[in-house]
Chain A
Amino acid sequence: MRGTLLLARAEISRLRRNRRYMISTLAFPIVLYLLIGKSAKGTAFYGVEFAAYYMVAMATLGSFSGALTNNAIRIAQERKEGWVRQLRLTPLPPNAYVVAKVIAAMAITVPSVVIVLLLGRFYGGVHLGATWEWFAIAAVVWIGAMTFTALAIAIGYRLPPDQVQPVAMLLFFVFLILGGIFFPLKGFLGSIGNFTPTYEAVKIAIDVIAGAAVPAGLIAGLVIWLAIFSGLAWFSVRATAETV
């Protein structure tokens, strides 16, 4: 485990230097919140004030983006360039690379979640009933992003780097739009969107804010997505066991 943690630490320190990661995970949600967070004052979305809805949406955008797009591209590149192979020649256990990626993804999505929630509180003027609610919505958005970490591993281990980028971006935007991250959907698309992990994470957090009981179906939905993507990731990793 010590080796795996060393690898995770190295992953985290190199991500902090990566400009693309910084823009997509940190700058993008922060700038959007600053631009739009206060624009629709007095409008309610999903039964809460717009500033609160948009705070949750942007925190989800940041953490899900940090979990998916960069990770998937990096995994595909590092496989192609042989870093994954090189690691197999070290005493590290065989799952160390994947475990380190999950740990690193969880660590690097923390800042964007924390910063966006702080913006919501002090810039957007969002007030919650109790302090624990802040921690609860941070945890939902943060842990919900694990579904996309698993998806990143599934794609990154399956596709070559030049295909990973468009596929990851496409999936990402489909899940963002269907999940109501940019604007809540109604009608047919909305009812499809209700089954996305992005929607489920946002809606759970918003139900917490609204003081409503969180439907068990939403939580079960996130768990099912996590199971599906983890299963796909497991198959992808296994399929490459000989070629790395």
Chain B
Amino acid sequence: MSHSGTGPVVSFENVSKHYGSLKAVDGLSLDLRAGETVALLGPNGAGKSTSLDMLLALRKPTSGKIQMFGSDPYHAVKSGRVGAMLQSGGLMPEVTVIELVTLVTGLQPRPVPVATTMRRAGIESIADQRVDRLSGGQTQRVRFALAIVGECDLIVLDEPTTGMDVETRRRFWASMKEEVAQGKTLLFATHYLEEADETADRILVINRGRLLADGTPEDIKKRAGAKRMSFRLENVNEPFLLGLPGVTSLDVRGNVVHIQTMDSDATLYGLIDGGYRPREIEVGSLGLEQAFLAITAEDDRAGDTAGAPQEVPQS
């Protein structure tokens, strides 16, 4: 059972993948524990797909060590404990959906009944259609079906909902939650932030091949300068506002002021102590999207000036 083991389901130890001078993955270390739902979040080219490829034994790390269920990735994959859906994964053409699902089910050491897989993936109605004549969303669902044809302990999905419409996407995550409810560990890469926010209980932010942040969606939002404030104010004095305690950024449009701050209380007291009387004050959390942009933008600036990769503390 997936919960019985005490060691991590997946561990990356200082893993790097270099293509010539390009460091696609650069000293990545992380552990996944059994039963977690983890989102791997990062902009295009951040190293998400390369990391997943190495985890699934499709590519070899240049250096470092990856382990899955206490063995090397290749043997873990071949033991049937991992179900995976890759962006680059394709389907066998010229067969029907049910023939394909039946075939791949037959390759599993612990197969799930074909009818169950078809229902979970929501592809019963297209069972007899030819694989090469499906729409983009239908194809995605068939690819998802191939990831859950075996009784696996870990599911790995690379941008699973790309090309799905909103309704299909909603159904997809609903069926995904069924899988997770059975105790499976789920790791998925995405650039849809709301998916990470709603689905994951842990988010790994990566950029330029390195891990920038690791925590719950709430942690990630906090890390990026916690709060946003807005208010109306006559006779705005921008240098004064920027100098207030906690402020990280400022945006003024007419008499409406938007502030990002690490400490909204201190910022507000400072403003009032300065003799200002702001009106219509609103304080809220940053969305995950702003948090994510703030974290990666900060990293990109650091990379541009420092050149050499820096140590990033993990929360």
Contact = CB atoms under 8 A, between A and B. Distances in A.
Contacts of B171: none
B21 interface: no
Interface in A10-27: 10, 13-14, 17-18
B60 A85 contact: no
A6 B103 contact: yes
A89 B58 CA distance: 8
A83 B91 contact: yes
Contacts of B278: none
Contact of B90 (A6, A85, A91, A92): A85
Contacts of B84: 89
B36 interface: no
Given A10-B99, A244-B58, A90 B88 contact: no
Given A7-B103, A242-B59, A242-B60, A89 B92 contact: no
Interface in B63-99: 77-80, 82, 84, 86, 88-95, 99
Contact of A85 (B58, B79, B93, B107): B58
Contact of B95 (A10, A89, A90): A10
A91 B108 contact: yes
Nearest to A86: B89
Nearest to A2: B106
Interface residues of A, number: 25
Nearest to A10: B103
A83 B104 contact: no
Contact of A91 (B91, B92, B107, B143): B107
Contacts, number: 77
Taking chain B's interface residues, is the majority helix, strand, or loop, or is none over half, making it mixed?
loop
B94 A3 contact: no
A33 B164 CA distance: 52
A85 B89 contact: yes
A162 interface: no
Interface string A150-162: 0000000000000
Contact of A89 (B79, B89, B106): B89
Contacts of B150: 91
A241 B100 CA distance: 24
A207 interface: no
- Rank and list the top 5 A-B pairs by shortest CB-CB distance, nearest first: A82-B90, A81-B90, A14-B94, A86-B89, A83-B90
10 contacts: A6-B103, A7-B103, A10-B92, A14-B93, A77-B93, A81-B90, A86-B146, A89-B77, A89-B89, A91-B78
Given A7-B107, A14-B93, A82-B88, 18 more contacts: A6-B103, A6-B107, A10-B99, A78-B92, A80-B90, A81-B90, A83-B89, A83-B90, A84-B90, A85-B58, A85-B89, A88-B56, A88-B58, A89-B86, A89-B89, A90-B80, A90-B108, A93-B78
